[in-house]
A and B are shown apart, each in its own frame.
Chain A
Amino acid sequence: MIRLTINGTDFAVAEGRTILEVCRENGIDVPTLCYHPALKPYGACRLCVVEILGDQRPSRLVASCTYPCQEGIRVKTHSRVVIKNRRLTAELLLAGAYETPDIVALATELGVKEPRYKLPKADSCVLCGLCVRACHEIVGISAISMTNRGISKQVSTPYSGASASCIACGTCVLLCPTGRLSLSDVSGPHLTKHSFTHYRPFYCQLCDDTAQIPSNGRSGTG
């Protein structure tokens, strides 16, 4: 077992757990965007940063979704340094998605209303990578991937055409927090026409029997 303290409370956890997992299991709220419990942690959105002290290095911020619990470390999830940093990250996230409801909601929760810098597109993809990773890790297809780099980075199919390997399962679209991804762009009209649009998915009565799946295949509740 590994012992560490989070916000002053002692925890003993099994080796290999990440800080975020321990926080979530114990009701400590840490905001995330690119994290999904069913996927491998990616560490891209940087909203889940926490402050770490006591490992013979200066205090620093790490992404809690990827950082493994280590013996003797002291973690602060809501210190002033952390809050300030999360706010700026949220503001930068908002810079390209200030008209995307889910991102606006996330930023508002962290206390950011208006980004000081705005990218030309108000509702662009935030490159959380959920769609790409789900397609690779869960569906096992890799119909989409990240292309280009830096500010031009985007989620794309091979050569931006319809992906030959897409099975139109819609997992990517369901996971997307921005609604930028359209199934017909990924799979091409031939697949969506013959499978997805004629296919009415069942959804779990136990989880949410009121959920309505709109025609673009995206979950209404996000």
Chain B
Amino acid sequence: MVESGISSTLEAIAEHPKEFVPTIITAACVTICGGTGCRVYGSEDVCQAFRRELSRLNLDGKVDISVKTTGCHGFCEQGPLVVIRPQEIMYAHVRPKDVSEIITKTIFGDEVVERLLYTDPHTGKAILKETEVPFYKHQKRVILDLNGLIDPFDIDEYIEAGGYNALEIVLNERSPEEVIDEIKHSGLRGRGGAGFPTGIKWELCRRQPDHVKYIICNADEGDPGAYMDRSIMEGNPHRVLEGMIIGAYAIGARQGYVYIRNEYPLAVSHLRQAMDQARDRGFLGKNILNSGFDLNISIKLGSGAFVCGEETALMASIEGRIGEPRPRPPYPSESGLWGHPTNINNVKSWASIPIIIKRGADWFAKIGTEHSKGTMIFSLVGNICNTGLVEVPLGISMRELIFDIGGGIPNGKRFKAAQVGGPSGGCIPAECLDVKIDYDSLTSLGAIMGSGGLVVADEDTCMVDFARYFMDFTQEESCGKCVPCRVGTKAMLATLERICAGQGRAGDIEYLEELGQEIKKSSLCGLGQTAPNPVLSTLRYFRDEYEAHIYADTCPAKVCKGLITYSVIPQKCTGCMVCLRNCPVSAISGAKKEIHFIDADKCNRCGTCMSLCKFDAIVVN
């Protein structure tokens, strides 16, 4: 698999040791996105088609063309993605039938297959290079930089791109205290959501007198629509491992765990493979790089409980107990796994470590705002044009993230709100779009940074229903240990369901507010303490919608089934019978060429009639 292109990359690195960005591979190299999104779209078939086609042409060995599956490129909306290097030509929505054309035109010729290029919907222009696509152009890819370049199954590619170099620097040149100082100086804050300074956390753990210490990588990503950690582990597992090894050295741990969901089979297999390779090369195990430092890392599979992302519940789960949080203090840095000092960090935090060591804390601290340094990875989902994984410097505005990178809202709809921080976060309304994304400003808006999930809602979204969805999630995922979270979230959900069903009562809003505030104050763990956020923030910015549901019996976005009715506009109805025939509950009466009628009592508000009517004769009120 090693290309001459990669050796030139090596030379480039040797010439510019400070530059960690891998230079472009010079020989023809086809990189196919192997992220879960593109796999679902069929990227594996595309990869096979490339291999088959190249071997059919009997070129194996004669021409220097490599085909490789990489980690997630990020632009999931356009999958399967194929990038032809060195030209960096990006093809979107590639199918196996397009492969032979790409090979003959782009790889052997100097032609471009125009129909496969990404077209900017705003300008209508086809864009040739990956780096010029607006989705990528406005990003700053620091953690994800290698995701689209290297084969995650091949440790050599990571090493050739400068991987494990930071580990060598640390083991040969730095004392653990120096490493901690560097991390503190970089200003890195925990990327799991709470934003606690990573260097300080490490120092607290290092200072404990206990000689047995543990480190844990929290890869229990469970927010709806979030897949940042998953993509890092799938696309570049070695960087996470390298960060963990450096962290273990700095903290003084000899055993580490990666707590990862069993629902991420690809990430688990990539990580397993990466660990085996790292052991073979002496980066992991006994006497790492002849430094005398030992570290073993084990994988612990979680069973998909959201609450196990909470650090004390996660440790209970590793110990084999029920995944229930316990009160803090004592904090894990004092008494964690089996009572020993333990340091838990998120995948993104660990993956940032080698970069900070390699490029220096000063470089890292230049990115971001005064109190929030570095980059943050978001998964943009919901009503947004460019669904995908983006990495941006902290301090970027929500508007840039959603409109410049995300491409705005599809179908010409208006932006209504963005839910930041997953089910524990809050919504940011349109009037706050210019706010800078950093830990403190998001908190002041009633949201949290969270782990990076970002769900966008357009004008057709009912914010009461939106809040109900997230409440349903946290209620379902509550471990049930403490009363406020177990019963309180259920009470909030029941109230929201009543409001959405058109049975809201005066006093419901006040009850929700009271519940929300008190649950936040008294819940045992972070799940309960943040669970009311979606409701409280929608109440803060969209109170009028709640009031419309309760007092005016209307759902302004026309979503809540208990508050809407479908009816026929007599002037437009042609009596074509399409709606009548397709209504699943036979609520529509009428005859051919006669105006139809919808019986509101029978109608189950499924909307089939409205979506099928070619004459826009059905209206929802």
Query: Interface on A for B, CB 8 Å cutoff?
Result: 41, 43-47, 49, 60-61, 63, 66-68, 81, 84-85, 88-89, 92-93, 95-96, 116-117, 119, 126-127, 129, 145-146, 148-153
Contact = CB atoms under 8 A, between A and B. Distances in A.
Given A45-B483, A84-B518, A149-B477, 19 more contacts: A44-B524, A46-B483, A46-B484, A49-B521, A66-B327, A88-B518, A89-B483, A89-B518, A93-B483, A117-B495, A127-B480, A127-B486, A129-B481, A146-B480, A146-B481, A150-B478, A150-B480, A150-B490, A151-B480
Contact of A92 (B322, B329, B477, B483): B483
A46 B522 CA distance: 7
B322 A150 contact: no
B524 A119 contact: no
A67 B327 contact: yes
B515 interface: yes
A93 B477 CA distance: 19
B482 A44 contact: yes
B521 A96 contact: no
B49 interface: no
Contact of B481 (A44, A47, A84): A44
Contact of A85 (B479, B486, B522): B522
Nearest to A45: B483
B98 to A, nearest CB: 47
B460 interface: no
Contacts of A85: 518, 521-522
25 contacts: A41-B327, A43-B482, A46-B523, A46-B524, A49-B522, A60-B521, A63-B524, A66-B327, A67-B329, A81-B521, A84-B518, A92-B484, A92-B487, A93-B487, A96-B487, A116-B491, A129-B481, A149-B307, A149-B480, A150-B478, A150-B486, A151-B480, A151-B486, A153-B479, A153-B480
A95 B484 contact: no
Interface string B455-490: 000000000000000000001111111111011111
A89 B484 contact: yes
B326 A43 contact: yes
Interface size class of B (residues with CB under 8 A): 20 to 34
B114 interface: no
A146 B324 CA distance: 10
B334 to A, nearest CB: 11
Nearest to B329: A68
Contacts of B478: 149-151
A69 to B, nearest CB: 11
Contact of A61 (B475, B487, B522): B522
B97 to A, nearest CB: 47
A149 B305 contact: yes
Contacts of A89: 483-484, 518, 522
User: Helix, strand, loop or mixed for chain B's interface?
Assistant: helix
Interface of B: 305, 307, 322, 324, 326-327, 329, 475-484, 486-491, 494-495, 511, 514-515, 518, 521-524
Contact of B487 (A63, A66, A95): A95
Nearest to B521: A61
Contacts of B518: 84-85, 88-89
A88 B516 CA distance: 11
Nearest to B523: A46
B327 A43 contact: yes
Contact of B490 (A43, A49, A151): A151
Nearest to B325: A43
A153 B490 contact: no
A127 to B, nearest CB: 7
Nearest to B323: A149
A49 B529 CA distance: 14
Contacts of B483: 44-47, 89, 92-93, 126
A45 B515 CA distance: 16
Contacts of A47: 483
A123 B495 CA distance: 22
Given A88-B515, A117-B494, A151 B487 contact: yes
A47 to B, nearest CB: 8
Q: Which 10 A-B pairs have the closest CB atoms?
A: A153-B480, A66-B327, A92-B487, A117-B491, A43-B327, A88-B518, A150-B478, A150-B480, A46-B522, A61-B521
Contacts of B489: 150
A49 to B, nearest CB: 5
Contacts of A119: 487, 490
A70 to B, nearest CB: 8
Contacts of A116: 491, 511
Given A61-B521, A119-B487, A46 B322 contact: no
Nearest to B514: A88
A89 B488 CA distance: 8
A96 B327 CA distance: 24
Contacts of B523: 46
Contacts of B486: 127, 150-151, 153
Contacts of B522: 46, 49, 61, 63, 85, 88-89
A148 B327 contact: no
Nearest to A49: B522
Contacts of A150: 475-480, 486, 489-490
